[in-house]
């Protein structure tokens, strides 16, 4: 009997799912990353060139300045101007073209927070406008949430090589994220991906454990709180289609929280 042919695409998708889920061990003496593919020389050169500018420290003065600028903004538009004027995040000087703060109505009942801008976001000055953003928009539309979400990120400048922003970089930008939360007072908050979930919820838990479970986000000042749900980042869904079902369930849970069924 002939063995079924290997579905390469399905195998790669499964391996990517395990990798992003945090799998770091196997039935050998030591873990082996079987998903690793040696990057081409050009990628290696970029990585070497940017190694010295990855995760630079952020001073307390920078965070204090962010808090001062954020506190002076009374509208999302004013907050966007405050972000553009902020010089304390190291990412600003690592090749980013411009600050990328938000898109969506200022009175949106849903606040969505992602990780950070990528190349297309850096070019257009708006978050989630690339392939991942288009998938997010389709999901929002299908869930009846189109034009009901204010979308931002944990950092507002593109990290070199689209790497994950460091906790220090997120901390520098956190006062602006918290101010957006204060100004919008949303009915619900959706966190996209592990980096956003860990930053907002102040946790080390992985996204596989966090997603699908409602939690509470409460500001230390201002008496503002809202239910928060973490889910997979749309970029992860593009790489791992099998995770879309769970992410769609999360999106429907958000829709139900905003518009509870009658009776």
Q: What is the pLDDT of residues 80-94, one digit of tens each?
A: 999 999 999 999 999
Nearest CA to 196 out of 244, 234, 143, 224 is that of 234
The answer to whether the beta carbons of residues 214 and 223 sit under 8 Å apart is: no
Indicate whether 233 pLDDT > 90.
yes
**Residue 84 CB: number of other CB atoms within 10 A?**
16
The answer to whether the beta carbons of residues 261 and 255 sit under 8 Å apart is: no
- Is 152 in a helix, a strand, or coil? strand
**Residue 213 CB: number of other CB atoms within 10 A?**
12
At 132-150, the pLDDT tens digits run: 999 999 999 999 999 999 9
Compute the mean pLDDT over every residue in the chain, rounded to the nearest whole number.
Answer: 86
Relative to beta strand 225-231, strand 215-218 is antiparallel
Band (pLDDT 50/70/90 cuts) for residue 223 is confident
Q: Beginning with the edge strand found earlier in the chain, give each strand of the sheet holding 188-192 in spatial order.
A: 149-153, 110-114, 188-192, 225-231, 215-218
Q: What fold characterizes domain 58-258?
A: Uracil-DNA Glycosylase, subunit E (3.40.470)
C-alpha span between 241 and 250 (Å, rounded): 15
Task: Report in angstroms the alpha-carbon separations of 51 from 21, 58, 160.
Answer: 25, 17, 9
Helical spans, DSSP H, in 116-243? 119-124, 131-142, 167-184, 194-201, 207-210, 234-239
Predicted local distance difference test score (pLDDT) of residue 40: 52
**Residue 122 CB: number of other CB atoms within 10 A?**
21
At 194-220, the pLDDT tens digits run: 999 999 999 999 999 999 999 999 998
Produce one character per residue of 94-120: b if its CB has 16 or more CB atoms within 10 Å, e if not: bebebbbbbbbeeebbbbbbbbbbbeb
Q: What's the whole-number mean pLDDT along residues 106-119? A: 97
């Amino acid at each position: 009997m002939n063995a079924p042919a290997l579905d390469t695409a399905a195998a790669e998708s499964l391996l990517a799912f395990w990798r992003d889920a945090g799998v770091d061990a196997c039935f050998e003496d030591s873990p082996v990353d079987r998903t690793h593919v040696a990057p081409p020389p050009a990628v290696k050169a970029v990585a070497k060139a940017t190694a010295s500018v990855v995760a630079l420290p952020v001073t307390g003065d920078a965070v204090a300045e962010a808090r001062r600028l954020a506190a002076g903004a009374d509208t999302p538009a004013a907050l966007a101007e405050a972000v553009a004027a902020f010089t304390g995040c190291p990412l600003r000087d690592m090749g980013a073209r411009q600050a990328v703060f938000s898109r969506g109505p200022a009175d949106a009942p849903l606040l969505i927070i992602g990780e950070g801008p990528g190349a297309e976001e850096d070019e257009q000055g708006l978050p989630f406008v690339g392939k991942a953003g288009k998938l997010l928009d389709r999901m929002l539309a299908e869930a009846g949430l189109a034009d009901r979400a204010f979308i931002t990120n944990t950092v507002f400048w593109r990290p070199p090589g689209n790497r994950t922003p460091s906790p220090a970089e997120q901390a520098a930008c956190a006062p602006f994220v918290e101010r957006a939360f204060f100004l919008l007072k949303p009915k619900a908050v959706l966190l996209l991906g592990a980096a956003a979930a860990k930053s907002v919820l102040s946790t080390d838990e992985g996204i596989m454990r966090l997603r699908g479970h409602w939690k509470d986000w409460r500001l230390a000042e201002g008496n503002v709180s809202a239910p928060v749900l973490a889910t997979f980042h749309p970029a992860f869904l593009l790489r791992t289609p099998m995770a879309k079902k769970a992410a769609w369930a999360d999106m429907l849970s958000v829709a139900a929280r905003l518009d509870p069924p009658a009776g």
